[in-house]
Amino acid sequence: MGVKKGEMQYKLVIVVRDDLKMSVGKLSAQVAHAAVSCALEAKAKKTKWFSEWYNEGQRKVVLRAKDLEELRELNALASRAKLPHALVTDAGLTELPPSTTTCLGIGPAPEREVDSITGSLPLA
């Protein structure tokens, strides 16, 4: 690993809905679902990106979207850009109603490509 922060070129971003009031544990689980789903997609479809990201230390950044509409817009942009991405929908077994979309993962992919979609969003 041993890569300096300035040398990292790949990242995975998880965008969480700011309008949902999830506990820290619930939010953490949803972010983990997005990260795993995206990593598996990248490993299968963007092998070089996955390998580079993995070897750099698997950088992940969590950002906020206002609501479901903004999350869907970001998802459409990621799809058009052909970036690995995953919308996470909760099963509704604990805090949220069934089928609540909670977050979106984008990447791992080159930082500039991810930032072209998520670069203006605030940190979570």
pLDDT at 40: 98
- List residues bridging with 62 in a β-sheet: 14
Q: 54-100: per-residue pLDDT in tens?
A: 999 999 999 999 999 999 999 999 999 999 999 999 999 999 999 99
Residue 90 in any domain: the answer is yes
Structural domain includes residue 101: yes
60: which strand partners? 12
DSSP state of 123: B
CA distance 69 to 5: 33
Residue 54's CATH number: 3.40.1490.10
Q: Per the domain annotation, does 12 fall within a domain?
A: yes
In a domain, 37, yes or no: yes
Assigned domain for 124 exists: no
Contact 101, 87 (CB under 8 A): yes
- Would you say residue 2 lies in a domain? no
Say how far apart CA 111 and CA 30 lie, in whole Å: 22
Enclosing domain of residue 96: 7-118
For the stretch 77-89, pLDDT in tens is 999 999 999 999 9
Number of domains the chain contains: 1
Asked if 14 and 103 touch (Cβ cutoff 8 Å), the reply is yes
